[in-house]
Amino acid sequence: MLWRQLIASVIIAVSLLVLIIRLVQHGHLDIAYCWLWLAIGIGILVVVLRYDWLERLTHLIGAVAPTTTVFLLGFVVVLLLCLQFSMVISTHRRQIKRLTQHLALLEREHPSGGRPTTGKPPTHDTASS
């Protein structure tokens, strides 16, 4: 691997890892959904720093060039991400249906919309406020 290729790949991998950590830090990405992204970032770093592993894997799966293996791995990762999104969407759809049904029943039992007629309003203070 050329030095320029190596440096560019390391920069991409580290930038991806930093981006993921920053997204989790600011609450834009939930910890439960960050693992596959972290694995991708670490995977790129490993492939760059241990190019001989990639060559061995290429030989193992019967591919001719390491680039073929990289594209194959990339395709598999994208498929896994799509599968994860499908699973999450399915869970959310089921939860939204259940919540909508729950709200409908509450609306029927409390025509005021379920809003409390007495008591204090909910607290919405934040840690940083």
Partner 1 sequence: MAATLQRVLVIMPARNEAGRVGAVIAAARAVLPGADIAVINDGSTDATAQEAAAAGAVILPHAVSLGYGAGLETGYLHAMRQGYDAVLQMDSDGQHLASELPKLCAPLAADAADIVLGSRYLAGGRFPISPLRRLGQRFFALLLRVLTGQRFTDPTSGFQGLNRRALRFFASGVFPCDYPDADVLLMAHLAGLRIREVPVRMAGRTGGASMHAGWRPLYYGMKMLLSLFIVLLNIHIWWTWRRRHAAAGGSGGTSACSGDN
List residues near partner 1 by CB under 8 A: 21, 24-25, 31-32, 34-35, 94-95, 98-99, 101-102, 119-120, 122-123, 125-129
Shorter beta-carbon distance to partner 1: residue 25 or 112: 25
Query: Which residues make Cβ contacts (< 8 Å) with residue 10, sequence separation at least 6?
Result: 45, 48, 49
Q: How far is the CB of 10 from partner 1 (least distance, A)?
A: 21
User: Which C-beta is closer to partner 1: that of 62 or that of 122?
Assistant: 122
Question: Is 24 or 63 the residue whose CB approaches partner 1 more closely?
Answer: 24
Closest CA to 49 of 5, 94, 87: 5
CB 62 within 8 Å of CB 69 = no
Minimal distance, residue 126 CB to partner 1, in Å: 5
Q: Which residue's CB is nearer to partner 1, number 31 or number 64?
A: 31
Task: Enter the tokens of residue 64.
Answer: 């001719």
- Work out how close the CB of 97 gets to partner 1 at its nearest, in angstroms, rounded to a whole number: 9
Tally helices (H) and strands (E) across the chain: 4, 0
Residue type, 90: S
Question: In the complex, what is the shortest distance from the CB of residue 99 to partner 1, in angstroms, rounded to a whole number?
Answer: 5
Residue 5: both structure tokens together: 């290729």
